[in-house]
Amino acid sequence: MRMYDLILKKRNGEELTTEEINYFIDSYTKGKIPDYQASALLMAIYFQKMNRRETADLTMAMAHSGDVLNLSSIEGIKVDKHSTGGVGDTTTLVLGPMVAALGIPVAKMSGRGLGHTGGTIDKLESFEGFSVEMSEEEFISNVNKIKLVVGGQTGNLAPADKKLYALRDVTATVDNISLIASSIMSKKIAAGADCIVLDVKVGEGAFMKNKEAAFQLAEEMVSIGKSVGRNTVAVISDMNQPLGYAIGNALEVKEAIDTLKGKGPKDLYELCLTLGSHMVVLAGKAEDEAHGRRLLMETIENGKALEKLKEFVRAQGGEDTSIEHIENLPRAEYITPVISDKNGYVGKIHAERMGIIAAELGAGRATKEDIIDLAVGLVLVKKVGDKISKGDTLAYVYANDKEKGEKAVNNILNNYEISVERAEDIPLIYGIVK
Ligand code: URA
Ligand code: CA
């Protein structure tokens, strides 16, 4: 087989066979195909697209490009949740403990943040000593013991995705449905859970900017999951404004703790209940979503979800006393309010820009080697639809560098659109695909 022929075939709009797709992934992972040929094929896929069969084949080839975890020694139906990436999205830190508190094993592979989106592992490192480094045995024993574990993507989990994602990032071939679906699902399949709940974000702060594309992506991923016996449900949720109020690692941890104490932002809590109710149903612990939702709400009311967070943080080496003593979490030196100079209503909060502003304060990385500052970020005070008078505080900036903080204040002001009339409410959930 020759890579040249595959590129030509796809360039001309033809379908690639299973053998051809396997050849491409296998050879590229082993370093036998140069990046320029892989890039040419990605661009051909971008323009000519792949059908469902090709997308499924690509996913399976990527899933098997490295280790596939065997979680069969974990008791019960294992559930995993994955978001396509958003701003201020703290759901895992709330949802993981809630679902685990019901006795459902949550074995989660999480990532670090890159670009304008945050990552669960970085957030969890706000607990001093917390680590995701562990052997497969420890991973499994932790889930069996406390029902919740968060691991990092090990060196050899879907290595084809790691290489291809980096290449897509620099060749303008990220936002293709087949390429995103195979990237996410290959990792989920390799990570071994029995059922998967996907949070497909749509809007300005997401990869999928419009609803049609988001639904199509959701349908592809659900169909891939089902075709390999992983019961999969996708929730399409809004990412036109940041989720909750906090953006930044320790700030989001605090927001998650508040939510577990029953004092969190409404949108974050609601999204957790929606995603969680599907997880509970898939795990066979509730008859329907309404029942699942009631069970989850009880874990907040009876404090069991908060207790589960403490247990989980301790089990992974973290300092759990900061859950009761929030002041012990990393704290920023300069806290500056952003003051509105207009009257009206918040019309828009540009989510992607907010993510970038937080990253520039130090909450995210520009390159993989950057060290992040856990304390910094933003806390919004006003969200879309809120009434504003001149002089009101829109948000707070948490900075450790005075100059960067001042720059962030101006940037935030420019990315809050204040309108004279109150805009229509943005829905939080656009639909479910299952
Ligand atoms: N997240 C992934 O892991 N891969 C993509 O292609 C997009 C979002
Ligand atoms: Ca948030």
- Asked whether 83 lines ligand 1 (CB < 6 A), one says no
Mutating to test ligand 1, I would choose from 184, 202, 221 the residue with most ligand atoms within 8 A of its C-beta, which is 184
345 alpha carbon – ligand 2 mean position (Å): 21
411-426 pLDDT, tens digit each: 999 999 999 999 888 8
177 alpha carbon – ligand 2 mean position (Å): 26
**Exposed, middle or buried by CB within 10 Å (0-12, 13-18, 19+), for 422?**
middle
| Ligand 1 atom 7 nearest Cα | 180
Q: What percentage of the chain exceeds 70 in pLDDT?
A: 99
374 alpha carbon – ligand 1 mean position (Å): 24
pLDDT score of 155:
64
0.85 cut: is pTM over it?
Answer: yes
| Ligand 1 atom 6 nearest Cα | 180
Instruction: Judge whether 104 and 147 are in contact, CB under 8 Å.
Output: yes
pLDDT score of 117:
78
Mean pLDDT of 344-352: 95
- CA 168 to ligand 1: nearest atom: 6
Give the whole-angstrom CA distance, residue 218 versus residue 214: 6
26-79 pLDDT, tens digit each: 999 999 999 999 999 999 999 999 999 999 999 999 999 998 888 888 889 999
84-101 pLDDT, tens digit each: 888 999 999 999 999 999
257 alpha carbon – ligand 1 mean position (Å): 27
291-319 pLDDT, tens digit each: 999 999 999 999 999 999 999 999 999 99
Per-residue pLDDT at 154 exceeds 80: no
Per-residue pLDDT at 366 exceeds 80: no
Give the whole-angstrom CA distance, residue 52 versus residue 59: 10
Per-residue pLDDT at 114 exceeds 90: no
Work out the mean pLDDT of the chain and round it to a whole number.
94
Mean pLDDT of 399-404: 97
Per-residue pLDDT at 380 exceeds 90: yes
pLDDT score of 70:
84
Q: Which ligand is nearest to the CA of 83?
A: 1
**Exposed, middle or buried by CB within 10 Å (0-12, 13-18, 19+), for 367?**
exposed
- CA 187 to ligand 1: nearest atom: 3
Give the whole-angstrom CA distance, residue 97 versus residue 307: 8
Instruction: Judge whether 64 and 22 are in contact, CB under 8 Å.
Output: no
| pLDDT bucket at 179, cuts 50 / 70 / 90 | very high
Q: Which ligand is nearest to the CA of 265?
A: 2
- Asked whether 84 lines ligand 1 (CB < 6 A), one says yes
Q: Catalytic amino acids?
A: 82, 161, 168, 183, 187
256-271 pLDDT, tens digit each: 999 999 999 999 999 9
